[in-house]
Amino acid sequence: MPPLPDAFYKDPALTAFMEKIGPCRLTSSSQQSLYTALIRAVTGQQLHNAAAERIFARLCSLSPSENLTPPSPEKLLLFSDTELRTCGLSFAKMNTLREIAKSRQEGIIPSLEEAQKHDDEALISQLTTIKGVGRWTVEMMLIFTLHRPDIFPAGDFGVQEGWRRLHSMPERLSPKKLRLATLSFSPSRSILTWYCWQAKALLPAIPHTKHPKTL
């Protein structure tokens, strides 16, 4: 791993936290297509990991294969609402999955090889044209599937709250202010993201000084 930017060591609170918990242990889900990554992300939205995995497994079982992979775009578009509902999917998620399937057929969702030719913002712009797919979903895919090193999902609650707890702030920063505050951590902001998630998980909550809102 290349050396981290100086910003990591010029932030006393972050430096102390890094020394306490050790090196970044961010893991990536290799051998997974962007199509599969998006399907998995949408099925798991707003669910705990165990529930998300159950629903994804049920969806995959509609078109069994040796590996746990979702139905191809062609097959997915053939399933009825009733069949998809048996997997535990809401109507909103079913519609988004169908949009993802159509987008893969139309080439909007690239292959892994094709995706490597595009920078982060180009992929975010392209994939968020899919109805139901937002910036956060694509950012997670960039981190965990494409292993991009400089992704900082400033709109993620865990990232916002982790940064707040690290720096003992009375309120969370808005996504815009948080992005500006962390620009100097480029080109290693995916690592900063991981440390923010760990701070949210490990550091004690800080009471808000007023009605909770972002600054």
Q: Which residues are catalytic?
A: 156
Q: How far apart are CA 80 and CA 41, in angstroms?
A: 21
CB 120 within 8 A of CB 151: yes
Q: How far apart are CA 11 and CA 22, in angstroms?
A: 16
Q: Where are the alpha helices (DSSP H) in 86-134?
A: 91-105, 112-115, 120-127
Long-range Cβ contacts of 116-124 (<8 Å, 24+ apart): 116/146, 120/148, 120/150, 120/151
Q: How far apart are CA 131 and CA 97, in angstroms?
A: 9
Burial of residue 200, with CB atoms counted within 10 A of its CB: 0-12 exposed, 13-18 middle, 19 or more buried: buried
Tokens at 30, concatenated: 């290799």
- Total residues found in the chain within this entry: 215
State which amino acid sits at residue 136: W
